[in-house]
């Protein structure tokens, strides 16, 4: 579930981007969602020494996309 993924991975959901990189990430996910005709997922970041990303959620219109920092 989104809740478990956020808690287990320590995901911080980007409510308001605080950097150019966060703005780019949110804008990129928004563009991809729009082009795929799905709802805008929550976008988050989590700390990891390795490059990583995942998507989770109950449906394509209720999802989370998270990327490591």
The predicted-structure confidence for 54-69, as pLDDT tens digits, reads as follows 999 999 899 999 999 9
- Domain 2-68 belongs to what topology? Zincin-like (3.30.2010)
Q: Is 12 helix (H, G, I), strand (E, B) or coil?
A: strand
Cα(69)–Cα(61) distance, integer angstroms: 25
Q: Residues near 33 by Cβ (< 8 Å), separated by ≥ 6?
A: 39, 40, 41
Band of pLDDT at residue 16, cut at 50, 70 and 90? very high
Q: Does the reported pTM lie above 0.95?
A: no
Summarize pLDDT for 21-56 with one digit per residue, the tens: 999 999 999 999 999 999 999 999 999 999 999 999
């Amino acid at each position: 579930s989104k809740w478990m993924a956020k808690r287990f991975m320590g995901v911080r959901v980007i409510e308001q981007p605080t950097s150019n990189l966060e703005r780019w990430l949110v804008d990129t996910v928004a563009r991809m969602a729009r082009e795929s005709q799905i709802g805008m997922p929550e976008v988050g970041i989590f700390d990891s020494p390795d490059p990583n990303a995942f998507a989770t959620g109950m449906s394509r219109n209720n999802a989370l996309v998270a990327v490591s920092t």
